[in-house]
Structure 1
């Protein structure tokens, strides 16, 4: 039992007086004298240093509106608490109590504005302004989503599972409180896809391996999102099937002779399949045609034989031309004896030009008959 009680309340706290366990009085900072004869009195102290408090609902009616702000948020309502101008807490569904006893400094010793403020957020709108970097960590992923698309990319926005819009490059955000919103970034820039080591069989039953390459980009982001789940895999399969079909219709010789033509046919077929899923094939080519080891050796032998045959033909042609030329020369000489004498003199001249000294070897008895004349 208490007849008289003195209670001191600090600057950063408040106190509640419970008489016979019934909330009776709210005490502000200072010294208080309480007199409740023949009553059971209990003091409940509450710190006000932190903005949020979980006061018992039975105590709330005792607190004046200037000291406590009570906010009730519905299922689709959200609020943001600021403490001294900085984001402090993101509030979701339910009832929240905030101390507003702390004041900001003001001039002329007048009480300033509360250090705690609350901003209600309109989350019923689909689009949202991208949150500041100091606010973003406070907001759960279930309430907010955002995506940033650089130049050359777009953002696909899905609302409750359905494609809603294709957004240009930039930073985009959406509230996901009342609806399910997803933002997906699609790259529109050129990319490369390689099919390596693709084994195919030609019309003449020669197994070989092809290395294919394609340059492509996204031409229709909306179609890509609606039609294809894995567009790269679809394009890869289209390249494989087109290569099998084109090679199976040609022999090895036809394939090697018309490699560019085959690449053009493949380009057309792959481009048609790619366009159906929103892709555009910019370039297509056959990088390599790899033959088995024994087939490569055999092909090299065939090529070698062909080249040797071509060389023999050229040699025979040259020999025939040379023989024909000699025959014509002999005919001319036979018909013109003077030409024969001229040819002999030309031969003597060429021979004399190469001789530096002349050695005479005379037989026995030849000396008296030798006559030397000076020209």
Structure 2
């Protein structure tokens, strides 16, 4: 008959029956027939595979407390976060101050509240699940601290602590959460092309290198705005001070003392900032062209003078040796004869043929003779 309304509810559905626009009952799967000549009955169909109640009257149902056994009410306080578990797995996050209604039918739903007043830190299992869902960036601040780095967490501008290497996450509801990571490894810093004047007014250009590391990340972050820029400037000041106190000859003759002076200056300036300067070294000392020519001329003159002294000394030694040899020959006829034979040997090396008359006596007595 036209006045009979038939309603069919599927296995994965529930029907919410309204009579005169007021929720009256929940219809389980099955076939229902109602006598409704005036069209006062309306049934809203709901998909149970989606446990979130999608009706516009959720607040009215929660306020009236209807169907308490069929719904789960999630009422999240303003200083809490709701974790929605479906089938035992975290699937959704409810923001502070949220009220939501869930069907208690096909999909088991559980809501766990987390207080934001105690801590903003997120448990590791919850953070990992949020990463899997791809929503961690929407509800939290993720902090990844590599090995040999340190993490600093600030909440509303106040430092909360230092993080060791690892993965962390913090709720960003109602608070301004920021995080920074600081490198604790040894770092190198170079100061290049510094135009300086020595104590004797010689202009030169110096390249400097330094190594440093952060030993106190809190001090390095809170006591100076940019600690690398600060160290760079202090290296410039230390280099200028050390160079201006030495002459050019002192700089070129003992660069190690220059390194030590700069190192002592910079180390004293940065120790209270949580920084450790491990070494400072001058890489290059570059002179202008005319100064190079002058130094080259000086070096050439010094080397020429040294060569002249050595030559004179060797000539004197050779003359002294000849004089001693002559004195020995004068007092020894046998030594005289040996010298004659050495002279004969040298002569025979330079001729093709050599004829001797008179046998060995002719060689010894007639061919060659040295007069004393």
TM-score (norm 1): 0.80
Aligned-partner SS, 1:236: helix
Query: Is 1:73 aligned to 2:92, yes or no?
Result: no
**Of 274, 278, 296, which residue of structure 1 is paired with 2:274?**
278
* TM superposition shift of 1:358: 4.2
For 1:142 and 1:164, how far apart are their aligned partners in 2? 22
CA displacement 1:320-366 (0-9 Å, x = unmatched)? 34445556777x58xxx952756643432323445473468xxxxxx
- Structure 1 equivalent of residue 93 of structure 2: 90
Looking at structure 1, the residues matched to 311 and 137 of structure 2 have their Cα atoms a distance apart, in angstroms, of: 84
The C-alpha deviation readout for 1:158-210, integer Å capped at 9, x for no partner, is: 23212232233344443343533333222222121122222323233333222
Contact (CA 8 Å) 2:85, 2:111: kept in 1 or not? yes
Higher mean C-alpha deviation, range 206-215 or range 274-283: 206-215
Call closer, same or farther: CA 1:326–1:183 in 2, change over 3 Å: same
* Cα displacement (A) at 1:230: 1.3
Work out which of the residue numbers 170, 176, 199 in structure 2 matches 1:180.
176
SS of residue matched to 2:294: helix
Aligned equivalent of 1:134: 129
What's the counterpart of residue 100 of structure 1?
A: 104
- Give the conservation status (yes or no) of the 8 Å contact 2:154–2:179: yes
Aligned length: 345
Q: Residue 117 of structure 1 corresponds to which residue in structure 2?
A: 110
Q: Deviations over 1:4-33 (max 9, x none)?
A: 322112222222333343434432221122
Instruction: Tell me if the contact between 2:221 and 2:227 (Cα under 8 Å) persists in the aligned partners.
Output: no
Structure 1 position 255, deviation (Å): 0.8
Alpha-carbon distance between aligned partners in 2 of 1:129 and 1:62, rounded to the nearest angstrom: 33
SS at match of 2:129: coil
Quick check: 1:81–1:119 contact (8 Å CA) kept in 2? yes
Partner SS state of residue 189, structure 1? coil
Question: Structure 1: which 5+ runs fail to align?
Answer: 103-113, 361-370
Task: Name the SS of the counterpart of 1:52 in structure 2.
Answer: coil
Note the residue ranges of structure 2 that are not aligned, 5 or more in a row.
Answer: 358-365, 367-372
Other structure's SS at 1:49 match: coil
Question: How big is the alpha-carbon RMSD for the aligned residues of Structure 1 and Structure 2?
Answer: 3.0
Deviations 1:106-149 (CA, angstroms, capped at 9, x unpaired): xxxxxxxx522222223333243223533334655464334343
Given the alignment, which residue of 162, 165, 175 partners 1:166? 162
Counterparts of 2:250 and 2:281, CA distance in 1:
17
Contact 1:201–1:207 (8 Å) recurs in 2: yes
The offset of 1:315, in angstroms, is: 1.5
Structure-2 change in CA distance of 1:261 and 1:358 (3 Å): same
**Residue 45 of structure 1: CA displacement?**
2.4
Is 1:348 matched up with 2:340? yes
SS at match of 2:285: strand
Q: Is the 8 A contact 1:12 1:48 kept in 2?
A: yes
| C-alpha distance after superposition, 1:21-77 (max 9, x if no partner) | 343443222112222454533333232221222321345558522322121112222
Distance 1:230 1:259 in 2: 30
Match of 1:225 among 221, 227, 235: 221
- Which residue in 1 is equivalent to 2:246? 250
- Superposition pairs for residues 1-375 of structure 1, below 5 Å? 3-38=3-38, 40-55=40-55, 56=57, 57-59=59-61, 61=64, 64-92=67-95, 93-102=97-106, 114-126=107-119, 127-130=121-124, 131-136=126-131, 137=133, 139-141=135-137, 143-324=139-320, 338-339=330-331, 344-354=336-346, 355=348, 357-358=354-355
